[in-house]
Amino acid sequence: MNLVEKVSRTEAEHFADCSAKHGGMARPSRQKRVIAVVASLTASLVIFRLELLKRLVAAGHDVIAFAPEHDPRVEEELARIGVRFIQIPMARTGLNPLEDLRTLWTLRRHFARLQPDIVLPYTMKPIIYAGIAARTLGIKERCFLVTGLGHIFSEAAGASLKARAIRYLCVRLYRSALRGARVVFVYNDADDDDIRRYRMLQGDLSPTMISGSGVDLDHFEFSKPPRGGPTFLMVARLLRDKGVVEYVEAARIVRRSFPHARFQLLGHFDSNPTAISREEIDGWVREGILDYLGTTVDVRPYLAACNVFVLPSYYREGIPRSILEALATGRPVITTDLPGCRDTVQPGANGMVVKARDVAALADAMAAFAQDPDLAEKMGQRSRELAETKFDVHMINRMLFAGMHLAV
């Protein structure tokens, strides 16, 4: 049973489960709380958490967001909805222990001064260092949003001595951070399994499954795909692990039989060691295989202009937000049979799932849409239905409130 089937439980059942795990008859608190939300990317506070932050403020809580980059647009938006922002030092990637200790010390200093009632970090480094800082200060309401355990737990990380050593260290850090947690939310079975396998949680606490960050169905409106084409769109950070090279190679194959098919790529360059270079992108564009669209703060026009959304990722995903936005827009999805990605697709109903790094299978899936112009519209309608029933951000936020014992 995949995640989209699992989350079909009613919210009442989910709330009862959460209550049972933490005292049986616990009731959601209406008391005003100071809530610290910690992120590793400032922009993510708006891209992924805006509706949650708005809901927390609307419920009467004092919300403080922590993240590393100075981003005036994000900070202005946070101020508009009543969220305070504090910039902290944090290197999203890298293993410099001095930098990480600086992150830990800074968070601990801020928490000691602000005395938050609830600490809610998401992504790997915030979970580890905000979790340890809050625990050592005696903050009991520690709630964790595991959007993905991190690349080191993926198959792509390999089994080298170095990878095993880093994974061992990460497990120890996760155990320290999650000790005594109120609730640990996870997005997919793989993270759930790894948390259990590596015994990251103590006592009878088990991860609480939710279906990703959710998507705002009003903001991402349904639209019928354009006629003609087809136009395929991939939206992702420009990393090899996201399947960019496989996407280009499959596009090259499909264009031999369908020369009018278009293949678009939208995303920003990254400092990650597996990043795609500007020179590679320029080469594919000159070859006529790829249309590189650059970056944007609003992906909706690009989703509306495509027929099919493609994400051939073999990155350790939680549940990709880009796919959720495509579902809401009413686009079929081609993605890989890996945790997080496969949880967004019912094969044959709203898209296709292919083996990771299998260029031939990816090309075949895209060719199927090129052969049948009506297929994208039929599957796209099912994608929207799936977004409405499984991935509505307001439904997800009610689950988060329930897990944190907060009144909606």
Any domain includes 223: no
CA angle 188, 354, 223 (to 5 degrees): 80
Q: What pLDDT is recorded for position 60?
A: 96
Q: Is residue 31 domain-shared with residue 163, that is, in the same domain?
A: yes
Q: Is the model's pTM score more than 0.85? A: yes
| C-beta separation of 370 from 257 below 8 A | yes
The mean per-residue pLDDT over the stretch 60-64 comes to 97
**Inside any domain, residue 329:** yes
Confidence class for position 42, pLDDT limits 50, 70, 90: very high
Cα 149 to Cα 196: distance, rounded to the nearest angstrom: 12
In a domain, 97, yes or no: yes
What is the predicted pLDDT for the residue at 1? 43
CA distance 135 to 334: 42
The Cα 314–Cα 358 span in angstroms is 11
Q: Total structural domains in the chain?
A: 2
Q: Which two three-digit tokens encode residue 321?
A: 């937000």
| Length of the chain in terms of residues written | 408
What's the confidence (pLDDT) of residue 352? 98
Distance between CA atoms of residues 341 and 400, nearest Å: 21
Mean pLDDT of 217-233: 94
Helix axes 393-403, 50-58, angle to 10 degrees: 60
Residues 18 and 164 in one domain: yes
Residue 231 identity (one-letter amino acid):
T
pLDDT band at 310 (very low <50, low <70, confident <90, very high): very high
Q: Is residue 312 part of a domain?
A: yes
What pLDDT, on the 0 to 100 scale, is given for residue 285? 97
Is the per-residue pLDDT at 34 higher than 80?
A: yes
- Whether 54 and 198 map to the same domain: the answer is yes
Could you tell me the pLDDT band of residue 157, with boundaries at 50, 70 and 90? low
Provide the pLDDT for residue 18. Answer: 43
152, pLDDT greater than 90: no
Phi, psi (5° rounding) for residue 123?
A: 75, 165
Chain centroid to CA 217: how far? 17
What are the CA-CA distances from residue 237 to residues 70, 148, 185, 241, 313 (Å)?
20, 16, 24, 9, 11
**pLDDT value at 26 more than 60:** no
Task: Please check whether residues 103 and 86 belong to one and the same domain.
Answer: yes
Q: Residue 343: is it exposed, middle or buried by C-beta count within 10 angstroms (0-12/13-18/19+)? A: buried
What value does the mean pLDDT take over residues 49-61? 97
Assess whether pLDDT exceeds 80 at residue 408: no
pLDDT at 156: 65
Domain at 116, CATH number: 3.40.50.2000
Do 20 and 166 reside in the same domain of the chain? yes
Q: Tell me, yes or no, whether 14 and 140 share the same domain.
A: yes
Q: What are phi and psi of 153, to 5 degrees?
A: -95, 0
Inform me whether the pLDDT recorded for 158 exceeds 80: no
- Which residues, at least 6 apart from 184, have a Cβ–Cβ distance to it below 8 Å? 143, 144, 146, 178, 195, 201, 205, 207, 208
- Report the C-alpha gap between 35 and 55 in whole angstroms: 12
- Whether 224 maps to a domain, the answer reads no
Pull the structure tokens for residue 334: 């081609």
pLDDT band at 25 (very low <50, low <70, confident <90, very high): very low
Indicate if 204 and 326 belong to the same structural domain: no
- C-alpha span between 121 and 133 (Å, rounded): 11
For 72-83, the pLDDT digits (tens) are: 999 999 999 999
Could you list the residue range(s) of the whole structural domain that residue 362 is in? 231-390
Euclidean distance between CA atoms 82 and 53, whole angstroms: 9
Rg (CA), the chain: 21
The Cα 88–Cα 293 span in angstroms is 32
Q: How far apart are CA 120 and CA 138, in angstroms?
A: 15
Residues 293 and 157 in one domain: no
Residue 169 CB neighbour total at 10 angstroms: 12
User: With bands split at pLDDT 50, 70 and 90, how would you rate the model's confidence at 24?
Assistant: very low
* Nearest alpha carbon to residue 298 among 220, 361, 393: 220
Are 306 and 232 a contacting pair, CB within 8 Å? yes
Write the pLDDT tens digit of every residue in 228-283: 889 999 999 999 999 999 999 999 999 999 999 999 999 998 877 789 999 999 99
Which pLDDT score is estimated for 379?
98
Answer whether residue 219 is part of any domain.
no
pLDDT at 14: 44
Token reading at 303: 């989703």
User: Do 131 and 239 belong to one domain?
Assistant: no
Q: What is the pLDDT of residue 95?
A: 75
Q: Considering the domain boundaries, does residue 110 fall inside one?
A: yes
Residue predicted with more confidence, 209 or 96: 209
Same domain, 184 and 258: no
- Residue 220 belongs to some domain of the structure: no
> Does the pLDDT at position 11 exceed 70?
no
Distance CA 266, CA 291 (A): 9
- Alpha-carbon distance of 45 to 248, in angstroms, equals 31
- Shared domain for 250 and 273, answered yes or no, is yes
CA distance 47 to 370: 32
Please indicate whether residue 324 or residue 11 has the higher confidence score (pLDDT): 324
Please give the average per-residue pLDDT across 284-300, as a whole number: 96
Let me know whether 43 and 178 are in one domain.
yes
